[in-house]
Amino acid sequence: MITCHVKYVIDPYQLAEFEAYAKAWLGIVERLGGTHHGYFLPSEGASNIAYCLFSFPSLADYESYRHIAMTDPESAALVDSLLQKKFIVSYERTFLRPLLA
């Protein structure tokens, strides 16, 4: 299993737009074979940092998801919305290997 951890720097004045974007990705990741562990939005502290975690059975499965997501109408519409509204300033993606009990 491979888990992707994403740290987002978001526009805090567009938190509602980011939240709608995040909710939509929850279903897309699940539909395309992954397990989404959720988004974690600003609460106390920094108002412009958000995180998400999602897993795929392997790195190859993640790469397949990325390829399919580029042509998937729902995910393409989300990316278009992001490019127009610019509610994500930047992001960092890290791949982790879970250690489970």
Per-residue pLDDT at 20: 96
Query: Starting from the edge strand earliest in sequence, which strands make up the sheet with 88-96, in order?
Result: 35-40, 49-56, 2-10, 88-96
CA gyration radius, the chain? 14
pTM: 0.89
pLDDT tens per residue across all 101 residues of the chain: 999 999 999 999 999 999 999 999 999 999 999 999 999 999 988 899 999 999 999 999 999 999 999 999 999 999 999 999 999 999 999 999 988 77
So what's the pLDDT on residue 68? 95
